[in-house]
Amino acid sequence: EVQLVESGGGSVQPGGSLRLSCAASGFMFSSYEMNWVRQAPGKGLEWVSYVSSSGSTIFYAASVEGRFSISRDNSKNSLYLQMNNLRAEDTAVYYCGRRGDSSGYYVDYWGQGTLVTVSS
Amino acid sequence: QSVLTQPPSVSAAPGQKVTISCSGSSSNIGNNYVSWYQQLPGTVPKLLIYDNNKRPSGIPDRFSGSKSGTSATLGITALQTGDEADYYCGTWDSSLSAGVFGGGTKLTVL
């Protein structure tokens, strides 16, 4: 069974940092591209970042470019999101998601999410 | 403002059919596959449709997807009260080099 379990969320002041982790199991993690998607309270889904299976290709949403950094450790079946210089508008539930292996871009499995609250 | 445009809400009676539209541009829907997600209240998003019209295992054939040009449509037939949820379309935007989602559509089954 595919499982994605996020951790590392919490409350932080504006300008602070957090590192999110996503532990993957039930599939060959090193073969799959991964993503972070967030959802602000009461709002819709917002794509945040993508990393290829090897980690060599990375993309970010314009709203987080230069502040967030995605990475992965295939030896540990883990995905990470380092978030620096956090802003109030970064407050959201952050989901780790696996890209499906068919032709299109889509997320076929989602973690349960971890809440990040940025407030003074 | 989302890159993909969806109606904020749709409604229909139980047993009826509803469609949800998703409008984009040539850099996203026009040249990439579309996916659809269902988010029941208080739960994690769930993949309903991928590659425009394919259903993952376990998704009933009451759910269907189609694409024409720069727009896509999710169809749900034989509506049930349990279908009340937020529905999102998504795809890749080749110009932005980014994933994009629609703003979401709240389905009410009256």
User: What does the pLDDT read at residue B2?
Assistant: 87
The pLDDT tens digits of the residues spanning B83-92 come to 999 999 999 9
Band of pLDDT at residue B105, cut at 50, 70 and 90: very high
Residue A70 to residue A48: CA distance in whole angstroms: 9
Pick from B38, B50, B87, B88 the residue to mutate for testing the A interface (most A CBs within 10 Å). B50
User: What does the pLDDT read at residue B98?
Assistant: 97
Cβ–Cβ of B91/A44 closer than 8 Å? no
Q: Measure A105 CA to nearest chain B CA, in Å.
A: 6
Cβ–Cβ of B44/A113 closer than 8 Å? yes
Q: Is A103 within 8 Å of chain B by CB?
A: yes
Which residues of chain A does B4 touch, with a Cβ-Cβ cutoff of 8 Å?
none
User: What does the pLDDT read at residue A8?
Assistant: 97
Element (H, E) at A19: strand A18-25
Q: Measure A67 CA to nearest chain B CA, in Å.
A: 16
Mean pLDDT confidence for B104-110: 96
Is 90 exceeded by the pLDDT of residue A36?
yes
In terms of CA atoms, which chain B residue is nearest residue A60? B98
Q: What DSSP assignment string belongs to A101-113?
A: SSSS--EEEE---
Residue A31 to residue B99: CA distance in whole angstroms: 20
User: What does the pLDDT read at residue B1?
Assistant: 81
Mean pLDDT confidence for B66-86: 97
The pLDDT tens digits of the residues spanning B20-71 come to 999 999 999 999 999 999 999 999 999 999 999 999 999 999 999 999 999 9
Which residues of chain A does B104 touch, with a Cβ-Cβ cutoff of 8 Å?
44-45
